[in-house]
C-alpha cells in the first residue's frame, strides 16, 4: 500500500480482532517505522516493547482498557525519557508522537488495525503499573499503548474537515 492510501485508510479501531497472531517480523517492521521517525536534536528519546505473549497481554488488558485491547493478539508499548536537548527544552512528547504516527501508518499498510491509547493510561496509575509489569525503569514514562491485530470489522476513517477550513497558502483565511 502506498503512503497516501495508508494515510487515507488509517483510523482508530476500537473493536475486536481476529483470533490470530501477528507475525514477529510484521511487529518488527511496525516498530522499525517508529524508530525511523524524527526526534528533536536526534535525541531518540522513544523506546518500545513489543508484547505478543498471551499471559502478558492478559495482564495488560485491565491496565489499558479499550475495546481493542480485549482481543488484541499483540501490543506495542511506547515509552520515553525526558531529556533536555535544546537548552532546557525536551522534545520527548513530539518524539513519541512522530513514532506513533509512523507506526499507525505501518500498521495500516500491513493490513492490521490499531488505536492510540494514552488517556486511559493517565489515571489510576495504569502507566506505572504497565511499566512495572514490563520491567521498565523509573526514568521512563509509559506514554502510549497500540493494540495490533487483524480487524474483525471494517471501519472507515472519520470524516475530516475540508482543506479550506484548516489550511491556507501564505496567510490565514486566504
For residue 144, CA distances in Å to 87, 120, 131 come to 26, 9, 11
Q: How many domains does the chain have?
A: 1
Surface-to-core class of residue 114, CB atoms within 10 Å of its CB (0-12 exposed, 13-18 middle, 19+ buried): buried
Residue 5, pLDDT > 80, answer yes
In-domain check, residue 171: no
pLDDT digit string, tens, across residues 59-75: 999 888 788 999 999 99
The answer to whether residue 97 sits within a structural domain is yes
Examine residue 162 and state whether it is found in any structural domain, yes or no: no
Residue 41: give the domain boundaries. 3-153
pLDDT at 157 over 80: no
The verdict on residue 168 lying in a domain is no
Q: What is the pLDDT of residues 127-149, one digit of tens each?
A: 999 999 999 999 999 999 999 99
Decide if pLDDT at 174 tops 80.
no
Residue 160 lies in a domain: no
Which CATH number characterizes residue 58's domain? Answer: 3.40.109.10
Tell me how far the alpha carbon of residue 55 is from its chain's centroid. 21
pLDDT at residue 156 tops 90: no
In a domain, 132, yes or no: yes
Cell of 30: 511496525
Measured CA to CA, the distance from residue 132 to residue 138 in angstroms comes to: 9
Amino acid at each position: 500500500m502506498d503512503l497516501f492510501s495508508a494515510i487515507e485508510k488509517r483510523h482508530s479501531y476500537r473493536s475486536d480482532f481476529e483470533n490470530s497472531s501477528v507475525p514477529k517480523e510484521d511487529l518488527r517492521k511496525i516498530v522499525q517505522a517508529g524508530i525511523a521517525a524524527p526526534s528533536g536534536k536526534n535525541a531518540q528519546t522513544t523506546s518500545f516493547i513489543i508484547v505478543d505473549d498471551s499471559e502478558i497481554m492478559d495482564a495488560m488488558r485491565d491496565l489499558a482498557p479499550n475495546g481493542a485491547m480485549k482481543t488484541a493478539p499483540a501490543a506495542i508499548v511506547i515509552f520515553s525519557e525526558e531529556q533536555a536537548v535544546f537548552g532546557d527544552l525536551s522534545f520527548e512528547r513530539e518524539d513519541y508522537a512522530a513514532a506513533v504516527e509512523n507506526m499507525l501508518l505501518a500498521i495500516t499498510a500491513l493490513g492490521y488495525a490499531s488505536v492510540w491509547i494514552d488517556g486511559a493510561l493517565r489515571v489510576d496509575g495504569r502507566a506505572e503499573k504497565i511499566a512495572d509489569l514490563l520491567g521498565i525503569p523509573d526514568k521512563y514514562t509509559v506514554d502510549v499503548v497500540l493494540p495490533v491485530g487483524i480487524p474483525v470489522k471494517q471501519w472507515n476513517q472519520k470524516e475530516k474537515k475540508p482543506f479550506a477550513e484548516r489550511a491556507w497558502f501564505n496567510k490565514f483565511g486566504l
